[in-house]
Structure 1
Amino acid sequence: MTTAPPRRERPHGLRDFYEDPDVTVASGTPRSLRQARMLAEALGPATSGARTVIDIGCGDGSAAATAAPILAGHRIIGVDWSQDALKRAHAHIPYAVRGELTDGGLPFRSGCADAVLFSEVIEHLVDPDAALDEIHRILRPGGHLMLSTPNLAAWYNRALLLAGVQPVFSEVSLRAIHGRPGQEVVGHLRLYTARALREFVAASGFEVVRLRGAPFHGVPRPMRPLDRLACRAPSMSSILLLHARRT
């Protein structure tokens, strides 16, 4: 006689979902490295003065730990909503605090940050407008925003939509995958094309400096060379990496 595995309790809402330790809270290393290199180029060497970099939505801190050697000499502070994620983040970065992307929800004074890392967060938000307003508040004038998010118009998503299949990265439920490839539920609420992301960030008080592409670790191995090639045309890449400055 076999015993059925215990049924996993379904999340009651977004807060319960993100406090679940089984939910992924880390991005892939390749795009974390690309984003860190873009920021290091923008900030310049720490010999000209250490800068404060705030990693909003730091998750378990692994992305900040990956970026730290590239941003050597600069101060990185992690922020997350999830208490579970923050417990894990303390193992990777020296400073990690709780905060929310609401009006005054981040525990920092206005204009205190030289740069904000905003990796794979915006697609999870109910109110991305309020989030960019709060990021605009804590950045100094001319401060840098490094934002990454999955691309709705990734090369394979275009083909999937033509075939009537739900695109990768998009989700219709927090409880299970329906109508698209993949098995992992990660809580995406919003997706952007390159054009939409540029326009949205510019309308939120930022000047878009550049947009680059990055590969996605979940692409099947035989298709990864094509995924890397697509990065040459960011509008078709798996991941969008946007660099903007506060105006």
Structure 2
Amino acid sequence: MSPSRRPGAAPAMLVDRVVELVAAARGRRVLHLGCTDWPYTAEADAAGTLVHRALARAARELVGIDRDVDGLAALAALGFDRLAVGDLEDLSGARWWGAVPPGAADAADLGTYDVVIAGEVLEHLGAPRLLLEGVRPLLAPGGSLIVTVPNAYCAFRFASYALSRRRGHGEPVHPDHVAYYSEQTVRLLLERSGYVLDGVWFADLGRGHRSSAPRSWRVVNDVAVRWAPQLADGLVVRCHRDDR
């Protein structure tokens, strides 16, 4: 990963979210939380933007977990076989979906991982600390948790909302999002959940997000982040379990 954003450090630098996730996964045993991208699984794979596919090409071993069985079935149809089903806010109840793989004691034995990835997940959860605390026993000693979230101070979302003339209605947010995070709030959430932060980066519009964004949003984004990278689309955070 690129140099991180820290207090007193050099000005913020932009990274590509998926490039950073793939780099973190390379050669490692990886657990991908919220892996299906349902109901767009097959569409994203055909477009070359399915994150689970990109991780599979890099990781030594990849396991995906999601609560949506339709999404898991879609991934299975695309050739992925190491999948688990479970509520991300209650990972203790997660189980292998389908056959129990070799090496697992039973359907509840998901093992431990060098890297756990929670990409664009926290903003969907009413109780994100339940996920973060549930991840802790799934991390191998020295393992990393990688979190990505939309940036609360994203320039193009601010511009879209300001210029919409809808008098406070029609926010440019995903209909399933219940929260947006800033660099400071995501740091605090992770620290309170028992993690030590290794770095925070600002993530520019990557291939997947850029292709779906209106042209006006892309123009505002590209001008804004050239001037102030902290106005980028998202955040990438790397941390590890605090075992003190």
State the TM-score, normalizing by the size of structure 1. 0.67
Match of 1:55 among 26, 32, 53: 32
CA distance in 2 between partners of 1:112 and 1:165 (Å):
50
Q: Which amino acid aligns with 2:204?
A: A
Match of 2:70 among 84, 94, 114: 84
The alpha-carbon deviation at position 221 of structure 1 amounts to: 2.8
Residues 68 and 76 in structure 1, CA contact (< 8 A), matched pair in contact too? yes
CA distance in 2 between partners of 1:162 and 1:53 (Å):
40
Of structures 1 and 2, the one with the larger relative CO (CA 8 A, separation 6+) is 2
* Residue 179 in structure 1 maps to residue 164 in structure 2: no
Matched with 2:55 is 67
Matched with 1:98 is 85
The alpha-carbon deviation at position 93 of structure 1 amounts to: 2.2
CA distance in 2 between partners of 1:58 and 1:69 (Å):
15
CA distance in 2 between partners of 1:125 and 1:146 (Å):
17
CA distance in 2 between partners of 1:125 and 1:186 (Å):
13
The alpha-carbon deviation at position 222 of structure 1 amounts to: 5.1
CA distance 1:194–1:76, shift in 2 (3 Å): same
CA distance 1:234–1:138, shift in 2 (3 Å): farther
The alpha-carbon deviation at position 79 of structure 1 amounts to: 0.4
The alpha-carbon deviation at position 57 of structure 1 amounts to: 0.6
CA distance in 2 between partners of 1:201 and 1:165 (Å):
36
* Secondary structure class of the residue paired with 2:177: coil
CA distance in 1 between partners of 2:129 and 2:238 (Å):
17
Q: Which amino acid aligns with 1:65?
A: R
CA distance 1:80–1:165, shift in 2 (3 Å): farther
Matched with 2:238 is 243
Matched with 1:214 is 204
Cα deviation, 1:31-69, whole Å, max 9, x if unaligned, reads: 3333212443xxxxx4xxxx3211111015631111222
* Secondary structure class of the residue paired with 1:68: helix
The alpha-carbon deviation at position 84 of structure 1 amounts to: 0.7
CA distance in 2 between partners of 1:65 and 1:103 (Å):
23
Residues 144 and 243 in structure 1, CA contact (< 8 A), matched pair in contact too? yes
The alpha-carbon deviation at position 118 of structure 1 amounts to: 0.7
Q: Which amino acid aligns with 2:126?
A: V
The alpha-carbon deviation at position 187 of structure 1 amounts to: 0.8
* Secondary structure class of the residue paired with 2:144: strand
Map 1:1-247; keep pairs closer than 5 Å.
31-40=17-26, 46=27, 51-60=28-37, 62-71=50-59, 74-90=60-76, 91-101=78-88, 102=90, 104-107=92-95, 109=109, 112-159=112-159, 178-181=169-172, 186-212=175-201, 213-215=203-205, 216-217=209-210, 218-221=212-215, 223-224=217-218, 227=221, 230=225, 235-247=230-242
Q: Report which stretch shifted further, 200-209 or 78-87.
A: 200-209
Give the alignment's Cα RMSD to 1 decimal: 3.0
Structure 2 spans left out of the alignment, 5+ residues = 1-15, 42-49, 96-107
CA distance in 1 between partners of 2:185 and 2:68 (Å):
28
Structure 1 spans left out of the alignment, 5+ residues = 1-29, 41-45, 167-171, 173-177
The alpha-carbon deviation at position 245 of structure 1 amounts to: 1.4
State the TM-score, normalizing by the size of structure 2. 0.68
Residues 17 and 204 in structure 2, CA contact (< 8 A), matched pair in contact too? yes
CA distance in 1 between partners of 2:86 and 2:220 (Å):
38
When you count helix as a share of all residues, which structure comes out higher? 2
Q: Which amino acid aligns with 1:205?
A: G
CA distance in 2 between partners of 1:243 and 1:231 (Å):
24
